[in-house]
Amino acid sequence: MMLIEEATVPDVALPVAEFKAHLRLGTGFGEDSLQDGVLRGFLRAAIAAIEARTGKILIVREFTWSLTGWRDRAGQVLPVAPVAGIESVTLIDEHEVETEMPGSQFRLEGDSQRPRLRPVGGLLPMVRIGGGVRIRFSAGYAEEWAGLPADLGQAVMLLAAHYYEYRNETALSDGCMPFGVSSLIQRYRSMRIGIGAGQ
């Protein structure tokens, strides 16, 4: 399985001015925008870390997910949430011949934790041995920063500030995430209970 992000978070969606205020950086100087590129980098890193930790996409963008077969033909769980829409489902045979499924044959079952691609009646079509399937979809909470849930927005600010303040630190342990960030994102993390819970 391979999940490809077709586009990065656009610069205009990054809250650089709000992040400057959060860091209490000085304003009104001729070089106010000097650090903007660096600040955007820390914001992108914080967004990526929170998305990886929660499996939730913050700013809406397009994704392509390729897999070699369905885990369950009655409904395939998608790899991230929330999914805004499924653009296409393409079957690929062992000779790499592609066949796009008509939109009338599938639907999105929305869910804040585990959205699914469902067939409209019956089962999802068989994926041939040596072939695969490619799903194009859009996912994310909001098109713009202001539309994000407040706790996720705050978590990004705290984590980006942590990266900024400790940008020269090399002694932090792998996967280190400040407690305040962990508590803010806790309710967005997927719960996995029992055998096969991730299916």
Question: Per-residue pLDDT tens for 25-35?
Answer: 755 444 566 78
Model pTM score: 0.85
| Cα dihedral sign, 127-132-136-141 | positive
Q: Could you give the CA distance from residue 198 to residue 60 in angstroms, rounded to a whole number?
A: 23
Query: What secondary structure does DSSP assign to 111-167, as a single string?
Result: -SS--EEEESSS-PPPPPTT-EEEEEEEE-SBSSGGGS-HHHHHHHHHHHHHHHHTT
Q: pLDDT of 48-102, one tens digit each? A: 999 999 999 999 999 999 999 999 999 999 999 999 999 999 999 999 999 999 9
* 62 within 8 A of 138, measured Cβ to Cβ: yes
Structure tokens at 133: 């399937």
Q: Where are the alpha helices (DSSP H) in the chain?
A: 16-23, 36-54, 150-165, 179-185
**pLDDT tens by residue, 149-185:** 999 999 999 999 999 988 876 555 555 678 889 999 9
